[in-house]
């Protein structure tokens, strides 16, 4: 069997975690998968916060419906999207493109300017929502990478973003929390979903071949 499919069948949104630590090498693989994930125009308009500090996670748990995985897990990832796609952020990205691809500075000026104009005309609320959708692509990559490493995970939308932003002082960074991911290992005794069959729509209902 394809190991990717086997590992995706193994994973589920873990409800209770054991507290066991995720090894550093596995954690770095998951983080690198997020770094390498696809994003529109390559802008990567989010910041990934890795939270291991238990006291900080306890504070977040209080504004996340007391979900136990936040403190029972080994780490919590917070995907924080840019609140604005500013001209400076776009220019910084293109400077990196010129440098790393050994291109003449300004050779992509038309493309660069089109992005600046596009986002300058977009309401800030829409800019954040666009950036949050890119962050979710990173979340998907983290879920797959965690499964490949046989690390359990729980994606989370059940939290008050403004409260999480305040705890992590994200406003100072021009960021807003979009989604979170708890990482750890399933508690075989306490988690009622350990042996539950995975429920997904059959391929013939999900897929339309054209």
Q: How confident is the model over 93-114, as pLDDT tens digits?
A: 999 999 999 999 999 999 999 9
Phi-psi category of 113—alpha, beta or left, where left has phi over 0 and alpha has psi -120 to 50? alpha
Specify the 3-state DSSP secondary structure of 150: coil
164: its two tokens = 């999480």
Phi-psi category of 25—alpha, beta or left, where left has phi over 0 and alpha has psi -120 to 50? alpha
What mean pLDDT, rounded, does the chain reach?
Answer: 98
For the chain, the C-alpha Rg in angstroms (whole number) is 19
**Tens digit of each residue's pLDDT (9 = 90 or more) over 2-57:** 899 999 999 999 999 999 999 999 999 999 999 999 999 999 999 999 999 999 99
User: Mean pLDDT throughout 189-200?
Assistant: 97
Work out the pLDDT band at 1, boundaries 50, 70, 90: low
Q: Reply yes or no on whether the pLDDT at 131 is more than 70.
A: yes
Torsion of CA 81, 86, 90, 93, to 10 degrees: -50
Please check whether residue 94 is in contact with residue 112, taking contact to mean a CB–CB distance below 8 angstroms: yes
Work out the pLDDT band at 137, boundaries 50, 70, 90: very high
pTM over 0.75: yes
According to the model, what pLDDT value does residue 2 have? Answer: 82
Phi, psi of 17 (to 5 degrees): -120, 160
Angle at 139 between CA 7 and CA 135, to 5 degrees: 160
């Amino acid at each position: 069997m394809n190991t990717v499919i086997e590992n995706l069948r193994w994973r589920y949104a873990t409800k209770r975690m054991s507290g066991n630590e995720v090894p550093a090498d596995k954690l770095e693989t998951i983080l690198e998968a997020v770094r390498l994930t696809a994003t529109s125009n390559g802008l990567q308009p989010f910041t990934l916060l890795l939270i291991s500090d238990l006291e900080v996670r306890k504070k977040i748990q209080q504004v996340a419906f007391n979900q136990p995985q936040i403190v029972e897990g080994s780490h919590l990832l917070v995907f924080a999207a840019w609140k604005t796609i500013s001209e400076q952020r776009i220019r910084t990205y293109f400077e990196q493109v010129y440098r790393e691809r050994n291109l003449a500075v300004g050779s992509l000026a038309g493309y660069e300017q089109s992005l600046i104009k596009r986002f300058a005309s977009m309401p800030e609320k829409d800019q954040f929502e666009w950036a949050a959708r890119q962050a979710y692509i990173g979340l998907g990559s983290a879920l797959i990478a965690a499964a490949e490493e046989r690390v359990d995970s729980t994606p989370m939308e059940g939290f008050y973003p403004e409260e999480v932003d305040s705890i992590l002082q994200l406003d100072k960074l021009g960021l807003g929390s979009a989604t979170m991911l708890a990482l750890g290992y399933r508690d075989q005794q306490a988690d009622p979903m350990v042996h539950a069959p995975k429920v997904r729509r059959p391929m013939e209902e999900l897929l339309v071949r054209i």
